[in-house]
Amino acid sequence: MNTYSRLPVSFVKGEGVWLWDNQGQRYLDALAGIAVCGLGHCHPKLTKALCEQAKRLIHTSNLYGIDNQEQLATRLATLSNMDNVFFCNSGAEANETAIKLARLYGHNNGIDLPTIIVMERSFHGRTMATLTASGNRRVQAGFEPLLTGFVRVPYNNLEAVTQVAVNNKNVVAILVEPYQGEGGVNIPQAHYLQDLRKICDQHGWLLMLDEVQCGIGRSGKWFAFQHSDIIPDVMTLAKGLGSGVAIGACLASGIAAEVFKPGNHASTFGGNPLACAAALTTLDVIAEDNLIEHAMNLGNLIRDRLKKQLADEAGVVQIRGQGLMMGIELSIPCGELVKKALEKKLLINVTSDRVVRLLPALVMQQSEAEQMVDAVCLLIKEFFSD
Ligand SMILES: *Cc1c(COP(=O)(O)O)cnc(C)c1O
């Protein structure tokens, strides 16, 4: 269907941070399939694990035990200090799971119209519940009626959250991205998550973090919440988890881990042996190759170099980010930069109209990062001098 305005290029091969199109041309990939291919393209260990798993067993359904799924759940629970996991196939589904969990939690506590606090400029997916939760009119327009049971507040504004607590007795949870991705790579004030945690504890609300984009090492920790000294009640993952094999996960801890009972939620494909093999290998490689520390250091290096090279460019409003999640906010809309970059054999993204977004693979090497920064800075300079 006509749901995408695609760029005029098709890739047929990849290796690390490089992609080749069907004309044999090579591109530097600063986007990694929108924060999906953390290990770069076709990491040999991932390819091997997928081939081996495909020869052994691909799918059986959740009517039966699945060894890989249990192993993956244990690994994720250990890494996050959370208790249990539901597996699905995408970020939107992971957030649907969280929303259903919060509503059931409310009903279990005698709240008939459970309400979830969500943020302006957030993005949670394209299903009806997740587009309702998203703070972006563009993803909602034309799909009304939206769901009820959401109340929206500005991101990074604790006062607004406290205000809702005064007026609304139906709140059961807060759903928030620790760092907003689609909304323009927005980094909240220090202690934002700690303060949200406190408010949730005071009121018996669930703190639900959407780490679909910022999770799995990208922020310079396994999970973005680990930059704060908290544990969420619910966390959703997808993008980077399976390195391109579709998998999503909704983790829960404490009281939230006991909400779902058999029959409350399900997925046919979710957590199948192949997808879980991809995720297990992704976690293995990230740990073995110290990619989290690397993401942290490389992110700082990239931002420093961007700041240095763009220091006297008046059109640059702000350079921000955390780990390998980076945004360069310009003073004017700059969507056309994506096509201009493509002509220079560089893959970038523009989000929120005027934020150049870079989400390179965690395996990107320093020389490749320098090449990326130099190309991006040249692009921005040319954009403003035209
Ligand atoms: C991409 C994204 C989603 C949606 O994930 P899909 O796999 O496309 O459904 C949800 N939340 C955040 C923060 C995302 O970046």
Question: 6 lies in a domain?
Answer: no
Q: Phi and psi for 23 in degrees, rounded to 5? A: -105, 5
Which of 4, 97, 99, 123 to mutate for ligand 1's pocket (most ligand atoms within 8 Å of CB)? 123
What's the confidence (pLDDT) of residue 102? 99
User: For strand 26-29 and strand 115-119, is the pairing parallel, antiparallel, or unpaired?
Assistant: unpaired
Buried residues in 232-262 as b, exposed as e (16+ CB within 10 A): bbbbbbbbbbbbbbbbbbbbbbeebbebbee
pLDDT band, residue 270 (cuts 50/70/90):
very high
* Whether residue 82 sits in one domain with residue 25: no
pLDDT band, residue 138 (cuts 50/70/90):
very high
* Whether residue 328 sits in one domain with residue 216: no
pLDDT band, residue 266 (cuts 50/70/90):
very high
Which of 239, 247, 352 to mutate for ligand 1's pocket (most ligand atoms within 8 Å of CB)? 239
* 3's tokens: 């749901």
pLDDT band, residue 291 (cuts 50/70/90):
very high
Report, as an integer, the average pLDDT of 107-134. Answer: 98
* Whether residue 371 sits in one domain with residue 260: no
Please check the confidence at residue 15 and state whether its pLDDT lies above 90. yes
What's the confidence (pLDDT) of residue 321? 98
Q: Compute the distance between CA of residue 232 and CA of residue 175 in angstroms, rounded to an integer.
A: 10
Please give the annotated binding residues for pyridoxal 5'-phosphate, written as ranges. Answer: 91-92, 123, 210-213, 268
The structural domain count of the chain equals: 2
Q: Which helix (H) or strand (E) covers residue 380, if one does? A: helix 366-385
| Predicted structure pTM score | 0.98
* Whether residue 150 sits in one domain with residue 62: yes
* Whether residue 200 sits in one domain with residue 57: yes
pLDDT band, residue 24 (cuts 50/70/90):
very high
CB neighbours (10 Å) of residue 326? 23
Report, as an integer, the average pLDDT of 136-157. Answer: 98
- Residue 171: CATH number of its domain: 3.40.640.10
pLDDT digits (tens, 9 = 90+) for 322-372: 999 999 999 999 999 999 999 999 999 999 999 999 999 999 999 999 999
Label residue 136 exposed, middle or buried (CB < 10 Å: 0-12, 13-18, 19+): middle
CA 333 to chain centre: 24
* 122's tokens: 């957030």
Domain boundary among 248, 268, 288: 288
Closest ligand 1 atom to the C-alpha of 122? Answer: 13
What's the confidence (pLDDT) of residue 123? 98
Do the beta carbons of residue 250 and residue 88 sit within 8 Å? yes
pLDDT digits (tens, 9 = 90+) for 166-194: 989 999 999 999 999 999 999 999 999 99
Closest ligand 1 atom to the C-alpha of 246? Answer: 7
* Whether residue 50 sits in one domain with residue 25: no
Question: 35 lies in a domain?
Answer: no
Do the beta carbons of residue 20 and residue 26 sit within 8 Å? yes
pLDDT band, residue 386 (cuts 50/70/90):
confident
- Residue 324: CATH number of its domain: 3.90.1150.10
Please check the confidence at residue 113 and state whether its pLDDT lies above 90. yes
Buried residues in 186-216 as b, exposed as e (16+ CB within 10 A): bbbeeebbebbbebbeeeebbbbbbbbbbbb
- In a 13 Å sphere around the CA of 30, the CA atoms on its Cβ side amount to 28
Parent domain of 99: 45-288
Of 174, 224, 167, the C-alpha closest to 204 is 174
Please give the annotated binding residues for N(2)-acetyl-L-ornithine, written as ranges. Answer: 126, 267
Q: Which helix (H) or strand (E) covers residue 338, if one does? A: helix 337-343
Q: How distant, in Å, are the alpha carbons of 23, 149, 213, 246, 293 from that of 236?
A: 38, 19, 9, 14, 22
Do the beta carbons of residue 41 and residue 18 sit within 8 Å? yes
pLDDT digits (tens, 9 = 90+) for 42-91: 999 999 999 999 999 999 999 999 999 999 999 999 999 999 999 999 99
Closest ligand 1 atom to the C-alpha of 130? Answer: 10
Question: 87 lies in a domain?
Answer: yes
* Whether residue 277 sits in one domain with residue 333: no
Report, as an integer, the average pLDDT of 222-229. Answer: 97
Q: What is the mean pLDDT of the chain?
A: 98
Domain boundary among 265, 288, 311: 288
Please give the annotated binding residues, written as ranges. Answer: 91-92, 123, 126, 210-213, 267-268
Residues with CB under 6 A from ligand 1: 90-92, 95, 123-125, 177, 181-182, 210, 212-213, 238-239
Starting at the edge strand found earlier in the chain, the sheet holding 150-153 runs: 84-88, 248-252, 234-237, 206-210, 171-176, 115-119, 150-153
Q: Which amino acid is at 340?
A: K
What's the confidence (pLDDT) of residue 356? 98
Question: 40 lies in a domain?
Answer: no
